[in-house]
């Protein structure tokens, strides 16, 4: 085994590479499109969601934070990579 303390190895594994770009900002529905928030989920609900990014569409694991009659506010990532956007309710499926 190496003479490097285990804590240093853990920090280097969990540290973000400086040359790795941040994820793209997703497109989000406008206030006129998503309407008035009707529910806030605490704790957030785990979901699978289709998200539109500037260069592609992706399906990812996220959490539902809020909802209106027609749309859901979803959130994913952590720290500097955390993203959120409003999507149509049909783009969201419950996850267990």
Task: Look at residue 11 in the predicted model and tell me its pLDDT.
Answer: 40
Q: Tell me the whole-structure pTM to 2 decimals.
A: 0.76
Q: How many helices (H) and strands (E) does the chain have?
A: 2, 5
pLDDT digit string, tens, across residues 39-96: 999 999 999 999 999 999 999 999 999 999 999 999 999 888 899 999 999 999 998 7
What pLDDT shows up at residue 18?
Answer: 58
Region 9-25: what's the mean pLDDT?
57
The vertex-22 CA angle with 16 and 23, nearest 5°, equals 125
3-state secondary structure of 11: helix
3-state SS assignment for residue 10? helix
Closest CA to 71 of 44, 33, 40: 33
């Amino acid at each position: 085994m190496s003479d490097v303390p285990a804590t240093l190895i853990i920090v280097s594994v969990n540290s973000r590479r400086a040359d790795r770009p941040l994820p793209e900002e997703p497109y989000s529905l406008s206030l006129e499109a998503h309407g008035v928030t009707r529910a806030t989920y605490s704790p957030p609900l785990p979901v699978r969601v289709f998200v539109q990014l500037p260069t592609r569409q992706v399906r990812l694991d996220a959490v539902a934070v809020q909802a209106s009659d027609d749309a859901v506010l979803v959130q994913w990532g952590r720290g500097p990579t955390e993203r959120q956007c409003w999507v149509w309710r049909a783009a969201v499926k419950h996850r267990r």
